[in-house]
A and B are shown apart, each in its own frame.
Chain A
């Protein structure tokens, strides 16, 4: 148990580090990004530093990013912000889950709920990833801001990996529920 606590503490620290890093990268990106590349990646030039691909999209998002750049829209704003939401949701649930593990609380309904939430975010993200580029095109076309944006729908390996991971995590949450029942029974063995 003490090992779980120790590792959980380390993972929480790691999560905080990743969140800080990601937030600061986004802040720098939105404030100082100067050039947007052909395939939607953003080049960052600041104080003589030059680095690219800080935020790159793939699949249908790369296509829509490319189309948005051609139409003089900012893909980092339109695509970048929604792309970060699932990450932060997952970080939040992971942080909560490992906080419980750190306290030695492992088989409770809360634990299983957090695991289920992570799975739900992953599965919802796949659906969102498919629908969002179409929604962007439809909204921009109907608001007369663009006429030539294409409707893009594509399913790539990334979506399938997310879907599979989400489903596997969902099943693990079910298994955890069984463990909770066992734990509750164990508590009634004197």
Chain B
């Protein structure tokens, strides 16, 4: 998929664990792991807002668009 989730990069920058983020955002670690691994089909604005608030970042820091040509 052309959308790349760079949640792990942001987590590393903030020195935060996935479980802690899940707890603060209010979703399960399992769901957050689905999001991190790129298996998610969509992300709710509310989830995105909570993640950005917790990590103190912009949506563009987590979601990156890469065209299929670039990937191949």
Q: Per-position contact with B for A154-190: 1 when CB-CB < 8 Å, else 0? A: 0000000000000000000000000000000100111
Q: Which residues of B contact A185 (CB under 8 A)?
A: 41
Q: Does any Cβ of A come within 8 Å of B9's Cβ?
A: no
Which one of B11-19, B26-34, B64-72 is at the A interface?
A: B26-34
Q: Which residues of A contact B32 (CB under 8 A)?
A: 190
CB distance from B55 to the nearest CB of A (A): 15
Within 8 A of A (CB), among B1-60: 27, 31-32, 34-35, 39-44, 47
What is the CA–CA distance of A19 and B32 in the complex, to the nearest angstrom? 47
Q: How large is the interface on B (under 10, 10 to 19, 20 to 34, 35 or more residues)?
A: 10 to 19
Q: Which residues of B contact A190 (CB under 8 A)?
A: 27, 31-32, 34-35, 40, 42-44, 47
B34: nearest chain-A partner, CB-CB: A190
Q: Which residues of A contact B35 (CB under 8 A)?
A: 190
What is the CA–CA distance of A189 and B39 in the complex, to the nearest angstrom? 10
Q: Which residues of B contact A188 (CB under 8 A)?
A: 34, 39-42
What is the CA–CA distance of A186 and B51 in the complex, to the nearest angstrom? 20
Binding site for A on B (CB under 8 A): 27, 31-32, 34-35, 39-44, 47
Binding site for B on A (CB under 8 A): 185, 188-190
Q: Across chains A and B, which 6 residue pairs bring their CB atoms closest together, nearest first?
A: A188-B41, A189-B42, A190-B35, A190-B40, A190-B31, A190-B43
Jot down 10 A-B pairs with beta carbons below 8 A, ordered by A: A185-B41, A188-B39, A188-B40, A188-B42, A189-B40, A189-B44, A190-B27, A190-B31, A190-B32, A190-B35
